[in-house]
Homo-oligomer: A and B are copies of this chain.
Amino acid sequence: MDCEFSERSLIMVPGPTNVPERVSKAMMKPMISHRGPEFRALYKGIIENLRYLFQTEGEVFVLTASGTGGVECAVSNLVNPGDKVLIPVFGLFSERMKEKIVRRGGSPLEIKLEYGEAPTADQIEQRLELEEDVKIIAIVYNETSTGVTVRDLPEIGKIAKERGLLLLVDAVSILGGDTLPVDEWNVDVCVAGSQKCLACPPGLSLISVSERAWKWIERTKRPFYYDLLTMRSFQDRWETPFTPAIPLFYALDEALKMIREEGLEKRFERHRVCSEAFYEAIEALGLEVFPKKEARSNTVIAFKRPTSVDGLEVRRLMRERYKVVIAGGAGKVRDLIFRIGCMGTISAPEVITTVSALEKALADMGYPVKDGASVEAAKRLLS
């Protein structure tokens, strides 16, 4: 991957991620009218490649907004006041999704889990047995705040289909980095962000809509900017209803071309191997991975900081002395964990540079590390 390590810092937070020069340079293409033939050709190509990425025959849209805006768009198009929405809450982003449902006037039925755990299909099934009139299951596939992936998502999709419920999935920090065949898994509305596993800059969110979701969307009272029916009517002529962030569309176009060139399977495997290398290295440092083994994410690596060191200081040293930026926790585990983005351009050199910087910073602070052990552990996996 053509990531630049030398002068600039390596951005290893769980989004935004390092952007390949090819993608970055695409933003320099000439400004165009969003109502002209050049834009229509650009947007058509993007949508075709997004269908490949989402593995869907359904409609896909690009919205000028952060991932959070995309999730709000999805919630606003599906949830009407009073609608019951089943939602497992197991981190900051599922908390936020619940809050969006509340602000829409929807009625969230919460399955509350410990941070670090993933909801299971059984838990969903059991709760549905107890409730009447549930309309939607809303789920965060990859909890960016805890490094947890919901491995039962395909089974949850089956449950939704059997019971005639809509399935809304926040895949902001995972789409493009791990398996998510939207049609096969019965996901009705799926939201992703440009700045995570796509290795594209932030500013766009991507939304897929299934055939059966449209009937539902038609009956909701939708806000103007987020109205998916308006987006669909403009997309018939390969336009967006409102002025799109054109340089970011150029970047997305290039990022998607790179994804097609690599192929989804190879890309997912690359993320998986790199994440395992991270987990091995973390354990070699004597640190504890935050989520349970079966719930570990391939795209967001969360682990507990040693209680003996100041987390902010470790990250400052990594950033200033070793030019690698990782994240702390978010939400209620803010001070307890570190998080690393294993996304987009992620490859062996990025993993090793990051692990090495972490090891050195910990050693600088007096935390006992066996010199080079974590890098060796990562290398074994990567070879």
Q: Which residues of A pack against B, CB within 8 Å?
A: 8-9, 11, 13, 15-19, 24-25, 27-28, 30-36, 64-69, 72, 76, 96, 99-100, 103-104, 193, 195, 201-204, 221-225, 241-248, 251, 319, 325, 327
- What are 26 inter-chain pairs, A to B, with CB distance below 8 A? A9-B32, A13-B33, A16-B34, A16-B243, A16-B246, A24-B31, A24-B247, A27-B247, A31-B201, A32-B325, A66-B225, A66-B242, A68-B224, A69-B225, A69-B242, A76-B223, A96-B224, A103-B221, A103-B223, A193-B243, A195-B243, A203-B244, A203-B246, A204-B245, A245-B248, A247-B248
Distance to closest chain B CB from A116 (angstroms): 21
A13 near B25 (CB under 8 angstroms)? no
A15 near B327 (CB under 8 angstroms)? no
- 6 smallest A-B Cβ distances: which pairs? A203-B245, A66-B242, A8-B30, A68-B242, A72-B225, A202-B243
Q: For the complex, give the distance between the alpha carbons of A120 and B127 in Å.
A: 59
B248 near A248 (CB under 8 angstroms)? yes
B246 near A67 (CB under 8 angstroms)? no
A245 near B201 (CB under 8 angstroms)? yes
* Chain B residues, CB < 8 A from A251: 247
Q: For the complex, give the distance between the alpha carbons of A28 and B25 in Å.
A: 7
Q: For the complex, give the distance between the alpha carbons of A193 and B104 in Å.
A: 27
A224 near B25 (CB under 8 angstroms)? no
* Chain B residues, CB < 8 A from A193: 243
Distance to closest chain B CB from A324 (angstroms): 11
A244 near B202 (CB under 8 angstroms)? yes
* Chain B residues, CB < 8 A from A13: 33, 35
Select one of B18, B19, B247 contacting A201, CB under 8 A.
B247
A66-B243, A201-B246, A204-B245 given; 12 more Cβ-contact pairs under 8 Å: A9-B30, A16-B31, A16-B32, A27-B28, A64-B69, A66-B245, A68-B224, A68-B242, A69-B69, A203-B203, A203-B246, A247-B248
